[in-house]
Structure 1
Amino acid sequence: MLESASHPDSHLFQVQHPVWAAHASIYEVNVRQYTPEGTFQAFEAHLPRLADMGVGIIWLMPIHPIGEVNRKGTLGSQYAVQDYYGVNPEFGTLDDLRHLVQAAHALDLYVLIDWVANHTAWDNPLVTEHPDWYTHDAAGNFVPPIPDWHDVIDLDYHQPALRRYMTDALLYWVREVDLDGYRCDVAGLVPTDFWEAARQELDQVKPVFLLAEWDELYPSGGLTWEQFDGNTRLLERAFDMTFGLRLHYLLDHIAEDKQPLHDIDVYLAAERAKYPPNVYLMHFTSNHDVNSWDGTEYERLGPNVLPFAVLTALLPGMPLVYSGQEAALQKRLAFFDRDPIDWQDYPLQEFYTKLLQLNKRHPALHNGILESRFERFPTTPNVYAFIRRHEETAVLTAINIAPTPQQLTLPVEAAGIYHDVFSGEKLHLQADSELSILPHDWRVLERM
């Protein structure tokens, strides 16, 4: 399948990705739980390790002060913003954040912060200064965007002054801290034309990267299918990337034997039908919401945790690693209280390094799959295998989700001399060669 083939709506997708995003992977940082100190300064010491691992983009969960009214837990949700221009003292100071960003840039890392534009804490000063900027019910009361989110209240983007305020706040952090962009919370609940206008202003300061917590192939933000508008088109003129939520849930269902492994082909077909090849989707086996509310990847994916991590790293799209995954974290982190990660000497550091460094260096693994081919191989039901090629270079990936060894018979286009990325073995493969895959294992081969 030629991934660079023309798409009927290609002309609609006008976002120009920053050059540095083409081979970047993304790493989500839960500052509160990352270290015993839970501060920017303590996390900064990990930047060289993450750079060595192959990470390209650092995504910091919200850095703003947290509301106290109707707070959940001891410390509250980081998504209940009390002040869009402030820094959460739990994490440090504005200068600490600046220093963190500067240190990241010195290592060729780029930094996004989480932005919560859809709602605020109940005690954000905007509540009393501009009550008309909020959504009200028939009785005139403030309302949460989702009933369970009782620690926040919904903003009303019909108000032009609110749009101006929020855009200015977004510009402030890019100018004052030299941020490289934003991960935008429940982005599809905010009008798309707001994001489009804000993107234009941000790009005038510097080329930014915007990640939407949304998936136009799957409802998100707590919505049902009946509430979902699949035509928000966030990726046309506003965002560089959205979440690949549909793939995430599909992998969970495969692990639960609710769907066959080869339904991944159905997902990829839907993705290619909706989006041209220059669009980025983010793939993952965990993030802060999934870990805390749905369970660790070990709970959800069982013995196929690592094979599915290989898939999310090497299928077309940008891979995400969440805080603690390189520690093989088998714990749901508390969301509203301190709960530091036990790093256990980073048992999966080498695993993720091999994947992310390969993604970073290999021309066939360009995030936008421009001028590259993705081809699926015929396999048995428990094996999923594909090759991604760019000119004469290629990466061959195969996973086995069965409890028994499996064999993959290679087609003629897979012939060549390969280097096994994980074992270091050199392989001479021909048409009809048999590639062995151990139970719940994987093979990643780089054509030499």
Structure 2
Amino acid sequence: MTASHDMTASNGMTASNDMTGASDMTATNSTTAPSSPGPLPTLLSGRFPITDVGPSVHGGRRPAAAAVDEAIPVRATCIREGHDSLGVHVVLRQPGGGEHSRVRMSPTGDGLDGWTAMIRPDAMGDWTFDIEAWSDPWGTWEHRAAIKIPAGIDTELEFEEGALLLERAAAAGGMPTPPASRELLLAAARTMRTRSLPVPVRLSASTDPRIAAVLSAYPIREGVTVSGPWPLRVQRRRALVGSWYEFFPRSEGASLDPPRSGTFATATARLAAIAEMGFDVVYVPPVHPIGTLNRKGPNGTLTPKPGDPGSPWAVGSKDGGHDAVHPDLGTIDDFDRFVAAIADLGMEIALDLALQAAPDHPWVAEHPEWFTTRADGTIAYAENPPKKYQDIYPLNFDNDPEGLYAEVERVVRFWVSHGVRIFRVDNPHTKPVWVWDRLIPAINATDPDVLFLAEAFTRPPMMRALAEAGFQQSYTYFTWRNAKDDLESYSRELAGPAAASMRPNMFTNTPDILPEYLQYGGPAAFAIRAVLASTLSPTYGIYSGFELYEHVSLRPGSEEYLDTEKFQYRPRNWAAASASGHTLAPLLTQLNRWRRDHPALQDLRSLAFHRTDNPNLIAFSKHDQGDLMLVVCTLESYRPQQGQVFWDMPTLGLSWDDRFIAHDLVTDQCWTWGQNCFVQLRPLEQVAHIVHVPRD
């Protein structure tokens, strides 16, 4: 929190001087002067133009995304004529407008007039920030004096002007500094005026670090120009950080012969193991009644047998719709106990919100206008050529938008009332964006802690539109990014411009997607993808069976699992896997513990990649709150890989010649590294170095 010697009191683009009696010049909509022969043109900038402010979404018309205690890099382009010094502040304001903090911005040093700083909101709500650019007379004098005084040019005049500035700073009304600080400024002014002292001694009085500290905290500001307010929506920490585990409750405790579903009660027995692995969020597919008409059998066949459970995403039957639970799983009271058991273990539930209906969903008979009717009078089922989903009717929001929207909001609020605070929305890109633009703010207006994850593997503009409409998280293309260049370019996009609105949730696999990399890469491929997902992104997830290296696809070239759990029960022998050691659970447990212990791994925007001389080695860093983490991971799951890593030392907050301690969390070994280091990874033994750099 700093103060300054100015009289700025505006949220628009304004320019003002400090307490010298000069009048303000406002640059907002128009400017007129009494002596002008005609109207002057509208001014597009204040005294100092401020452009390219970020983070921002649609020029500030929508709030940028942030989370509690997240370090937010703020940027702006601030311009002034000539060579005089410019100062820039970012002012973070709490909901209600009160100033929370004021941070001096630093030039980016790229010659493009860029400025940057970090802000960190500490509570939920709608915050704002302003950018303030101003003339820095002390900085201008320092630069000029450092050149002219040693050269003997205008020596006494320069000392006098510097002393006057120090006296002006000390005498400024309302300067909230102790008397000792004022006396420090005045003493320096006296020293600068004392001609009997050597010139270097007089000059050193102005370069005293204590003087710099006072004038940095309480600068003299002239011509202050303000750009803002820029909106920032700060959500709870889980919007940014979390480890997700997806599983089907019906498979836990299920039997295949005879076919029998698991229940919420039997699924509860699995929760302790999920918690022990360190996961935060338990994501379950739809728990509603499943349609019987056009039900699909194993592997999506159209010939189900008696006892085949069907797809949970074919929602609705005579037993109820989106506000009911499948009777095989239990009752709504059983669901409540399941949610409570998850919470008792320090986790929370994420429920799938699949806005679609089975042919025997009550909506079909009661509201046929909520669906699309074809020319032959039949209702259109879902298609994604060449795939056909005869067991699912998509909704049509154009026939009765108000009626259908009201029902959707009612359904969401029903589950919120039963303890659900996270919804994983199935295929939101197949619904009009206005639905989410209306629904999410409506829910968050009464329940600001409710989060929505967009399961939208679709075109980037649509993914951005969904994020801007309010989705707090989004699935990503990480599932298909395996090569080094692809991983780096895509992750830079997510951590850079996209972060203003879209937060990634990097799932390694899903019930729909068994990536080819996992099909043929062996156990090391699973370890590699787990390391990358959990360290590149603050939020990541796995689908049950990943830890058992399940990798058999329906057919060559397919990403569908053989005997996919979407259409049948899949009980797993967790105890046998643990006893044999054929499980990734120990590594997942370590990864989740390190993510909890290290703030850097909970950060998205500090992600930076570093050069290696091997295309099968990827290296990156993250930092937050003094915590610095480095990751070097192999992308080859069978053959050993070795090479040099070239760390960009300034990005790490180090000098090029520095040496530092590298503590590998995987092996608990320590090495001394510098700008270059040699690494060798044998994927059958160790796929990555996950390194903590201790700070002194």
Q: TM-score, normalised by structure 1?
A: 0.86
Matches within 5 A, 1:5-44: 6-7=54-55, 9=57, 11=60, 12=62, 13=64, 16-36=234-254, 38-44=262-268
* Equivalent-residue separation in structure 2 for 1:232 and 1:132 (angstroms): 30
| d(CA) in 1 for partners of 2:608, 2:459 | 20
Q: Distance in 2 between matches of 1:185 and 1:409?
A: 41
The match for 1:153 is 393
**Which residue does 2:349 correspond to in 1?**
111
Match of 2:440 in 1: 199
Which runs of 5 or more residues in structure 1 are unaligned? 219-228, 252-259
Matches within 5 A, 1:139-288: 139-146=376-383, 148-158=388-398, 159=400, 160-175=402-417, 177-203=418-444, 204-215=446-457, 217=459, 230=462, 233-244=465-476, 246-251=477-482, 260-272=483-495, 275-277=498-500, 279-288=502-511
1:394 to 621, 628, 633: 628
Q: Does 1:48 pair with 2:282? A: no
Please list the CA deviations of residues 136-191 of structure 1 after superposition, one character each: whole Å capped at 9, or x if unmatched. 2233321013160110112111221011011101100111x111121011011111
Q: Return the match for 2:541 from 320, 323, 328.
A: 320
Q: Deviations over 1:360-408 (max 9, x none)?
A: 33211225x25x3433333411111111122431111111234133133
Q: Could you say which residue in structure 2 is the equivalent of 1:356?
A: 592
- Given candidates 491, 503, 518, the residue that maps to 1:298 is 518
Q: Could you tell me which amino acid in structure 2 is paired with residue 155 of structure 1?
A: L
**Aligned match of 2:360:** 123
Bigger mean CA offset, 390-399 vs 275-284? 275-284
Q: Is contact 1:419–1:447 with CA below 8 Å preserved after alignment?
A: yes
Give the deviation of 1:116 after TM superposition. Answer: 0.8
Cα separation, 1, equivalents of 2:507 and 2:364: 36
Matched letter for residue 281 of structure 1: P
Determine helix, strand or coil for the equivalent of 1:112. Answer: strand
Q: Quick one: distance in 1 between partners of 2:481 and 2:419?
A: 37
Stretches of structure 2 lacking an aligned partner (at least 5 in a row): 1-52, 66-232, 255-260, 298-307, 553-560, 653-658
Match of 1:225 in 2: none
Q: How far apart in 2 are the matches of 1:274 and 1:217? A: 17
User: Is 1:84 matched up with 2:322?
Assistant: yes
Alignment partners' CA distance in 2, 1:392 and 1:269: 22
Aligned mates of 1:28, 1:128 — CA distance in 2:
33
1:210-269, Cα deviation, whole Å (9 max, x unpaired): 111114555xxxxxxxxxx6376111132111111x221222xxxxxxxx4222222234
Residue 633 of structure 2 aligns to a residue in which SS? strand
Give the Cα separation in 1 of the matches to 2:495 and 2:584: 32
Structure 1, residues 90-125: CA drift from partner, whole Å, max 9, x if none?
2222111101111212222111110111x2000011
Partner of 1:133: 370
- Tell me how far apart the structure 2 counterparts of residues 20 and 305 of structure 1 sit (CA, whole Å): 25
Residue number among 648, 655, 667 corresponding to 1:423 in the alignment: 667
Q: How far off is 1:70 after superposition?
A: 0.6
Please tell me the residue identity of whatever aligns with 1:336: F
Distance in 2 separating the partners of 1:212 and 1:103: 26
Q: Distance in 1 between matches of 2:291 and 2:463?
A: 33
Distance 1:156 1:188 in 2: 13
Partner of 1:221: none
Cα RMSD over matched residues?
Answer: 2.5
Deviation at 1:319?
0.9
User: How far apart in 2 are the matches of 1:155 and 1:309?
Assistant: 36
SS at match of 2:310: coil
Cα gap change, 1:388/1:301 in structure 2, threshold over 3 Å: closer, same or farther?
A: same
Indicate how the Cα distance of structure 1 residues 423 and 17 shifts in structure 2: closer, same or farther if over 3 A, else same. same
Distance 1:277 1:425, change over 3 A: farther
Residues 40-64 of structure 1 deviation map (CA, whole Å, 9 limit, x = unaligned): 2122122232223221111111100
* 8 A Cα contact 1:397 1:444, kept in partner: yes
Distance 1:335 1:276, change over 3 A: closer
**AA matched with 1:62:** P
Distance 1:76 1:240, change over 3 A: same
Partner of 1:409: 645
Give the direction of change, closer, same or farther, for the CA distance of 1:348–1:304 in structure 2 (3 Å limit): closer
Q: Which has the higher strand share?
A: 2
Map 1:51-62 → 2, pairs under 5 A = 51-62=275-286
Tell me how far 1:342 sits from its aligned partner.
Answer: 2.9
The aligned counterpart of 1:443 is: 689
- Per the TM alignment, residue 437 of structure 1 is displaced from its structure 2 partner at its CA by 1.9
What is the letter of the counterpart of residue 267 of structure 1? Y
Higher Rg of the two aligned structures: 2
User: Against the structure 1 CA distance between its residues 110 and 250, is the aligned structure 2 distance closer, same or farther, given a 3 Å change threshold?
Assistant: same
Aligned-partner Cα distance in 2 for 1:16–1:90: 40
Alpha-carbon contact 1:31-1:38 (below 8 Å) kept: yes
> Cα offset for 1:317?
4.5
Q: TM-score, normalised by structure 2?
A: 0.56
Q: 1:301 to 1:202 in 2, by over 3 A?
A: farther
CA distance in 2, matches of 1:23, 1:268: 16
**8 Å CA contact retained: 1:328, 1:347:** yes
Q: Displacement, 1:353? A: 0.9
Aligned with 1:377: secondary structure?
strand
Maintained 8 Å contact 1:327/1:342 = no
The aligned counterpart of 1:226 is: none
Distance 1:355 1:408, change over 3 A: farther
Q: Is the 8 Å Cα contact of residues 463 and 474 (structure 2) preserved in structure 1? A: no
Q: Check conservation: 1:412, 1:432, Cα contact below 8 A.
A: no
1:66 alignment partner AA = I
Cα 1:115–1:421 shift into 2, 3 Å: same
**Partner of residue 656, structure 2:** none
SS at match of 2:409: helix
Counterparts of 1:317 and 1:349, CA distance in 2 = 19
Distance 1:375 1:405 in 2: 18
Seen in structure 2, the aligned counterparts of structure 1 residues 6 and 358 have a Cα distance that, compared at 3 Å, is farther
Bigger RCO (CA 8 Å, 6+ sep) = 1
Q: Distance in 2 between matches of 1:323 and 1:136?
A: 38
From 275, 296, 299, the equivalent of 1:72 is 296
